[in-house]
Amino acid sequence: MREVRILMLHGYTQSGPLFHAKTRALEKLLIKSLAPLKIRPTLLYPTGPNRLSPRDIPGYAPSEGGAAAGEETETDAWAWFRKDEATGSYRLLREGMDSVARAIREEGGGRVDGVVGFSQGGAVAAMLASALERQREATTAEAEEWLAPLREANGGRPLKFAVVYSGFFAPPGDLAWLYEPRVRTPTLHYIGSLDTVVEEGRSRGLVARCEDPVVVVHPGGHYVPVSKEWVTPLVGFVRRWCEDDADES
């Protein structure tokens, strides 16, 4: 059996264990479907480094008689980065990427083959795939600070594939180098036709910034579809790029 290590990046307000619980059926189908091909996927579920407070969570409303001013209940809700609403820039992205690099080193044993991400994790998955491409160069000193350790963590290897559920591209100008030229790593994009959290236009914006993207539209909202009908395209995509790699080696 040939092991394929896949980084699983959760969405905003989630955690690695929560994302694992929500995608356990997907994991089982993926393992079962690839076993006859002698491919054993190992899914790694790190947690983003930036803890969110209750007021950071969409829909939060403080309850009467709750915590005193200045006090907040600790949550198990995390993010890979934070958007500055005033400027549109991404704060704490370096911490997020450093966390991904650490997961590759410690959980992935210094090598991951692919990435799957949901929502904010989907945006990071595409950024990660792009950043690990050998010919791509960062255009800011700040980006170079997290790019070099990230590439070192994966041994200078690019990813074989990236799968994005309800993802989007990063509009800040200082991250344009991640999409210009377009992302060359093979990408599969899942878009929910009823998604009101990340609307289709935002996901299509990322699709347009990838070379030869594969797009699957499911009739649902903002979640990862885990039934066999929707996992089958994922199985075929992973199989295609892992088998191609095996043929070339």
- Its CATH architecture, for the domain 2-50+76-248, is 3-Layer(aba) Sandwich (3.40)
Single out the residue of 108, 105, 97 nearest to residue 131, CA to CA.
97
Query: Smallest Cα–Cα separation from 223: which of 193, 248, 245, 185?
Result: 193
pLDDT of 50 strictly over 90: yes
CB 183 within 8 Å of CB 209: yes
User: Residues for the chain: how many in total?
Assistant: 249
| Rounded mean pLDDT, 164-192 | 98
User: What confidence score (pLDDT) does residue 102 get?
Assistant: 98
Q: What is the pLDDT of residue 170?
A: 97
Integer Cα distance of 194 and 105 in angstroms: 37
Neighbours of 88 (CB within 10 A): 11
- Per-residue pLDDT at 153: 98
CB neighbours of 214 closer than 8 A, spacing ≥ 6?
186, 187, 188, 189, 233, 237
H helices of 155-227, in order, are: 200-207
> pTM of the predicted model, to two decimals?
0.94
pLDDT digits (tens, 9 = 90+) for 216-248: 999 999 999 999 999 999 999 999 999 855 444
Mean pLDDT of the chain: 94
